[in-house]
Structure 1
Amino acid sequence: MISQLFPRTTWIAILMLAGVGMLMPVFNLSFPDGHPLHISSYVLGIVAKFMCYALAALALDLVWGYTDILSLGHGVFFALGAYAHGMYLMRAIGHDGVYQSDLPDFMVFLDWKTYPWYWAMTDSFLYCMALVILVPGILAFVFGFFAFRSRIKGVYFSIITQAMTYAFMLLFFRNDTGFGGNNGFTDFKRLLGFSLTAPATKAVLFLMTLCCLVSALVLCRWIVTSKLGRVLQGVRDSESRLMFIGYNPLWFKLFVWTLSAVLCSIAGALYVPQVGIINPSEMSPANSIEMVIWAAVGGRGTLLGPIIGAFTVNGLKSWFTAAFPDLWLYALGLLFIIVTLFMQQGILGVLAKLKKATEVA
């Protein structure tokens, strides 16, 4: 039963927050600027971006928190999903670009004469949505199969995932790959014929992101509370003992790793039309490390914690980069040190301890 996935109080909190989220675009569309209940498009865009980050953090927690697979390369899955959707958005610009060509502006500027073969059919929205699922999914499956079959784990696995995302970043920075090089994709005009700058389109994208985040949370919670989830936690706690009683950890790890990559890719696909740009910097190892920090700050192995962590850290980042732009990286490092030394269970762990102390008192 879906009601058994979370305690009753947790369900009430989730539904209340989801309700508030659903009202935000309504207030944006229903009330004019200056009205006390009006929510600006800027705030709506910031919250939507944070929800995409939260979905990526949730995907990472599924593998790190429940199977102890620490990935420092989830940024590549996020970016690949964004690029797959971005290819459709670039084709949807049509002749409205600067050069009014059949080709995207960056291809005209770089003297491309025709689309490369891997751009075929990218004018189809459904095809590009299939790419959002298949490209990161196949990459994760192949990468994970050889890594897990070779029994690579721990810090060694983290290092090779970081090397993977760095290699993809260098590849996408090249102008001859057909993905815009350093500038990536930008200047999107429309999605499925609807203007991306229209308030109604932004509202629909916001609600789609919210629905995907809540659905992914329920799916992940269903997995970790099922028999499959207990096996995954067995992989985390004692993989050798799990093998001794007859389980092959390879396929369980491969399943959760691939699912995590696909969820992260979906987050990237939702991110790109709302932010309006995707470039290779999203694949930088630093971005993948930030995802780990979101999960750690919120509470690893809790699913809800990484969502809270993503909102908390990115909220602090938005404030710090505006108020103290030179100090954000120092603040981020200090935050991670504090969590590592004094808050190993993250924000949710601290709240649980406070609740327990209150009950005892």
Structure 2
Amino acid sequence: MIKRHLPFAAVAVLALVAAPLLLEPFRLGLLAKYLCYAIVALGIGLAWGKGGMLTLGQGVFFGLGGYSMAMYLKLTEGGGLPDFMVWSGVEKLPALWVPFANPVFAVTMAVLGPVAIALILGTLVFRQRVRGAYFAILTQALAAAMVILLVGQQGLTGGTNGMTNFFELFGQDLAEDSTQRVLYLVVATVLGVLYLLTRQLVNSRYGKLLVAVRDGEDRVRFLGYDPALVKTVTFAASAGMAGLAGALFVPVVGIISPALLGVVPSLELVVAVAVGGRHVLAGAVLGAVVMGYAKTAFSEQFADGWLYLQGALFILVMTLAPKGIAGIARGVAGRLRSARAT
């Protein structure tokens, strides 16, 4: 048992201790951003890899968490209305914004808001036995509708530009390197805790039931279980992770806009999970970090054609290793064990 946890412990120590010491502030901020995406990918790995629910709209829940935190940060600036409301001609703070002046309420809504929406959507959809490609298209349509809603509410959400220009969080200057270093440690710690909790869930009796629903939903129903309830709870858990990731993303990156939570970002997260290996939780996390790093590296070196390189990376991994990077690692580990036994 101890040997099985050694790789996780090594990576955790490297992330928490070595990264802040070895990376300059800009690169450390990029790594924190990748880890925010990794939290979303962890939820996708749970819902898709273990539960068989291909969700193409996680950007919606990510955006809800991000906008909740952004509203709080805007209200801490002081001086009256947020800047974009002044530009939009809003004269009084909307009632919807008032509760978000409380940080506890903002963080709570960043998580519980996505969970509540996922519970309602999952109850309505899974009770009607909607699954497979139909469920994926439905979640994708939800992401598209969310973008239209946010863009159309200029006075409430900042419209196309979203919200930016955040200056402090809990009294700490966000421009300071020390604050960004603390934010990185918080993001890395949250990711580690969520990974351990999700892994424990997957290894529990509920996790085995979830996999059984994925592989034979009708058989599970005939055995007396409720597949709709199992899938709804899992879908809600993945939504909560995405919302929390969005709340952490805003102070780390300094912006939230509809462009970060639409159809394309949601698809990119699914692609990242597929590259890492959707059937392994660690693979989903690794895929998000690898794809985030590749996107940055390719865009820096090849400004005109980095999208083609990113697509080529996805095609190459999926062609040579359909089970992703985690599948390659498992295959190598299996060969090494066989060689030792021989």
For Structure 1 versus Structure 2, the TM-score category normalised by the shorter chain is over 0.9
TM-score normalised to structure 1 length: 0.91
The match for 1:8 is: 2
Instruction: Report the more deviating stretch, 198-207 or 110-119.
Output: 198-207
* Alignment partner of 1:263 out of 241, 260, 275: 241
Q: Is the 8 A contact 1:24 1:44 kept in 2?
A: no
Q: What's the offset of the Cα at 1:197? A: 1.2
How far, CA to CA, are the matches of 1:155 and 1:26 in structure 2? 42
Q: Is the 8 A contact 1:76 1:282 kept in 2?
A: no
Equivalent position amino acid for 1:39 in 2: L
Structure 1 residues 78 and 259, CA gap change in structure 2 (3 angstroms): same
Equivalent position amino acid for 2:42 in 1: L
1:322-350 CA-partner distances (Å, limit 9, x unpaired) = 11123222223223333333211111111
Q: Is 2:285 aligned against 1:288?
A: no
Q: Is the 8 A contact 1:22 1:207 kept in 2?
A: yes
How far, CA to CA, are the matches of 2:331 and 2:254 in structure 1? 41
RMSD of aligned Cα (Å): 1.4
Structure 1 residues 255 and 177, CA gap change in structure 2 (3 angstroms): farther
How far, CA to CA, are the matches of 1:238 and 1:212 in structure 2? 33
Q: Is the 8 A contact 1:57 1:292 kept in 2?
A: yes
Structure 1 residues 25 and 328, CA gap change in structure 2 (3 angstroms): closer
How far, CA to CA, are the matches of 1:233 and 1:315 in structure 2? 31
The match for 1:66 is: 50
Q: Is the 8 A contact 2:84 2:155 kept in 1?
A: no
The match for 1:22 is: 16
How far, CA to CA, are the matches of 2:225 and 2:153 in structure 1? 46
The match for 1:105 is: 83
Q: What's the offset of the Cα at 1:204? A: 1.6
Q: Which runs of 5+ in 1 are unaligned?
A: 1-6, 28-37, 96-101
1:218-262 CA-partner distances (Å, limit 9, x unpaired) = 111011100000110011110011011111101111101001000
Instruction: Report the more deviating stretch, 43-52 or 339-348.
Output: 339-348
SS for the counterpart of 1:122 is helix
The match for 1:50 is: 34
Identical amino acids, percent of aligned pairs:
36
Instruction: Report the more deviating stretch, 14-23 or 109-118.
Output: 14-23
SS for the counterpart of 1:255 is helix
Q: What's the offset of the Cα at 1:199? A: 2.2
Q: Is the 8 A contact 2:276 2:286 kept in 1?
A: yes
* Alignment partner of 1:274 out of 247, 252, 258: 252
Q: Which runs of 5+ in 2 are unaligned?
A: none
Q: Is 2:210 aligned against 1:232?
A: yes
Q: Is the 8 A contact 1:175 1:182 kept in 2?
A: no
The match for 1:89 is: 73
The match for 2:226 is: 248
Equivalent position amino acid for 2:44 in 1: L
SS for the counterpart of 2:36 is helix
Q: Is 2:61 aligned against 1:77?
A: yes
Q: Is the 8 A contact 1:300 1:346 kept in 2?
A: yes
The match for 1:217 is: 195
Q: What's the offset of the Cα at 1:359? A: 3.2
Q: What's the offset of the Cα at 1:21? A: 1.9
Q: What's the offset of the Cα at 1:11? A: 1.6
Q: Is 2:115 aligned against 1:121?
A: no
Instruction: Report the more deviating stretch, 327-336 or 245-254.
Output: 327-336
The match for 1:347 is: 325
Q: Is the 8 A contact 2:250 2:256 kept in 1?
A: yes
* Bigger fraction of residues in helix: 2
Q: Is 2:126 aligned against 1:148?
A: yes
How far, CA to CA, are the matches of 1:334 and 1:25 in structure 2? 29
How far, CA to CA, are the matches of 1:180 and 1:346 in structure 2? 38
TM-score normalised to structure 2 length: 0.96
1:188-215 CA-partner distances (Å, limit 9, x unpaired) = 0111111111222212211110111001
1:285-308 CA-partner distances (Å, limit 9, x unpaired) = 111111111111111121000111
How far, CA to CA, are the matches of 2:161 and 2:238 in structure 1? 27
1:53-111 CA-partner distances (Å, limit 9, x unpaired) = 1111001110001110000000111111010000000111112xxxxxx0001000111
Q: What's the offset of the Cα at 1:44? A: 1.1
How far, CA to CA, are the matches of 1:340 and 1:154 in structure 2? 20
The match for 1:318 is: 296
Instruction: Report the more deviating stretch, 66-75 or 11-20.
Output: 11-20
